Amino acid sequence: MLEGHYDAIVIGSGFGGSVSALRLSEKGYRVLVIEKGRRFRPEDFPETNWDLRRWMWMPKLGMRGLFQMSFLDHITVMHGAGVGGGSLVYANTLPEPTAAFFKSPSWAHVADWQSELAPHYRTAKRMLGTTQNNLMTRSDHVLKSIAGDIGRPEHFHMTDVAVYFGEAGKKAKDPFFGGEGPDRVGCTYCGACMTGCRVGAKNTLDRNYLYLAEKKGATILAETEVTAVRARASGGYVIEAQASFGSARSHKLTADRVFFAGGVMGTLPLLLKMKEDPEGLPHLSDRVGDFVRTNSEALIGVISPEPSENFSKGIAITSILHTDEHSHIEPVRYGAGSGFFRTLTLPHSPGPTVITRLAGAVRGFAREPVKWMKALTVKDFAKQSAILLYMRTLEGTLSMRLGRNARTGFQVGLVSSLTEGSPAPSAFMEEATDLANRFAEKVGGVSMTLLTETLLGVPSTAHILGGSVIGKSAKEAVIDGHHRVFGYDGLYVVDGAAMSANPGVNPSLTITAMAERALSLIPAKSA
């Protein structure tokens, strides 16, 4: 049992938690980071996502990997676990949102976010090793062709990514922090970024922020899940935690400051649990769990039956096409052999009911049965599949509370509900379908989506945000403009749960920049 007092305890080691760990350590604080997932070395990652034990996070079933799926009533969420959080499984891309994000009425009244965050975006890009992808792949050539077809060739470009390219497969001394960071290995374009980089080229958080934080004295306690955070009458907080798997190990710690950084799927359940606990944090804002949002995205797979096609070469996301000022699409890939999602897909068939969707799928199969049979029986599903990620800045929110339902295994967990007056999340967007059809036509393929979309009409997201949003008072929000929790001195939320508008792009860079700003407002311990 680990006991003791820390100046600061950080719950979670993703983009917000890793920034918190480093900046607090630099300011002289004694810091402990608690992470429910494992610490991974490159060789610990699975070779393909068929190795469920090393890829999927379901510890009760012996799966102790880096990837999670959570099935809620209104959304299917894909998220990460492990030292480095979502950086272990994300697709490396680091775009900045447009001005509309910073001016969104949901939080623009609190600060001039675009100007205040600008220097922190620059810091985040430097720390994450941002560079531009340098390889045009088969998917990129197809997408560029579509850009010309729709009259927007100038709106196609390569992505900014967190990858060390260097000399493929060759080890090099730290190229990012003047030799203070770990050695790196040049990218081999294997496409396996999202199953864990076994090469050592992906700039995951354990290779920058967390690595440097540990050198500054921060302690990382992995394979441990925080179960309670309670205010002490004498000031500060008591933190209770237990082993994520494998033992009855538990810990009871104290800290002057606590930073919630477990992502929406980690931070919200803990805050909601503590709000219901009279001895926990009962005075939290009633807005905890409100204004949960996504990037309003659609994920559509295109499978080509042609054995000569290879969409797996490259990094996870290589290019982007802006279809208008609010929307864009990106080609995504898994490495060759990582075809697990074959088991979770059905034909993409938009429609208002399951009957119309299934009827549409049957009609599509009947029109081209040979193509469909070949596509559904390809030998290497990942190699012959391109995933199209469509995102837009449309706002729509959900509320989340603790409850029981079939999708949480009737255990207490997050359950979603629609926000009155807000559009419901949609699994089917007309432009996304059109773009997928154009892509499929060019490669002689067919379109697929997760079965939860075809059967249930429930959309999927890899970017769950909000639920502990920023505002000027506890009546409208959970935290203030400095990320401080209303009503509790020394509590902070510094992860995607604090995102108070839809950025419309991969949010990792923005979460990092927001965390950099929040931590810059905390004085050094000596002060």
User: Once rounded to an integer, what is the mean pLDDT over residues 347-376?
Assistant: 94
Q: Say yes or no: 367 and 447 in one domain.
A: yes
Among candidate residues 83, 19, 26, the one with its CA nearest the CA of residue 7: 26
- Determine the average pLDDT of the residues in 108-126: 98
Whether residue 409 has pLDDT greater than 70: no
Region 308-312: mean pLDDT is: 96
Mark whether 333 and 407 lie in a shared domain.
yes
Instruction: Indicate whether 178 and 253 sit together in one domain.
Output: no
Quickly state the pLDDT bin for 164 (edges 50, 70, 90): very high
Same domain, 285 and 314: no
Overall number of domains in the chain: 2
Beta bridge partners of 258: 9, 491
Cβ neighbours for 215, distance < 8 A, ≥ 6 positions apart: 180
Average pLDDT over every residue of 387-400? 93
Burial letters 321-345, b for 16+ CB under 10 A, else e? bbbeeebbbbbbbbbbbbbbbbeeb
pTM of the model: 0.96
- In this structure, is residue 102 part of a structural domain? yes
Distances (CA, A) of 87 to 154, 314, 427, 490: 30, 18, 25, 27
On whether residue 69 sits in a domain, the answer given is: no
Residues 216 and 349 in one domain: no
Residue-range definition of the domain harbouring residue 355: 132-193+296-462
Mean pLDDT, the chain, whole residue set: 95
What is the per-residue pLDDT for 248? 77
For residue 198, being part of any structural domain is answered with no
Query: Rounded mean pLDDT of 105-129?
Result: 98
Residue 336 and residue 265 share a domain: no
Q: Is 283 in the active site? A: no
Give the whole-angstrom CA distance, residue 274 versus residue 296: 30
Give the angle subtended at the CA of 8 by the CAs of 3 and 11, to the nearest 5°: 85
pLDDT tens per residue across span 492-508? 999 999 999 999 999 99
The CATH code of the domain that includes 504 is 3.50.50.60
Give residue 478's pLDDT: 98
Domain shared by 170 and 239, yes or no: no
Whether 433 and 311 share a structural domain: yes
Verify that 237 and 159 share a domain, yes or no.
no
Residues 314 and 453 in one domain: yes
In a domain, 268, yes or no: yes
Instruction: Give the model's confidence band at 116: pLDDT under 50 very low, under 70 low, under 90 confident, else very high.
Output: very high
Which of 120, 348, 463, 483 is catalytic? The answer is 463
Residue 58 belongs to a domain: no
* Cα separation, 359 vs 114, whole angstroms: 47
Two tokens, residue 242: 């237990």
Q: Is the pLDDT of residue 2 over 80?
A: no
pLDDT (tens digit, 9 = 90+) per residue, 217-271?
A: 999 999 999 999 999 999 999 999 999 987 778 899 999 999 999 999 999 999 9
- Say whether both 511 and 407 belong to one domain: no
Segment 463-476 mean pLDDT? 97
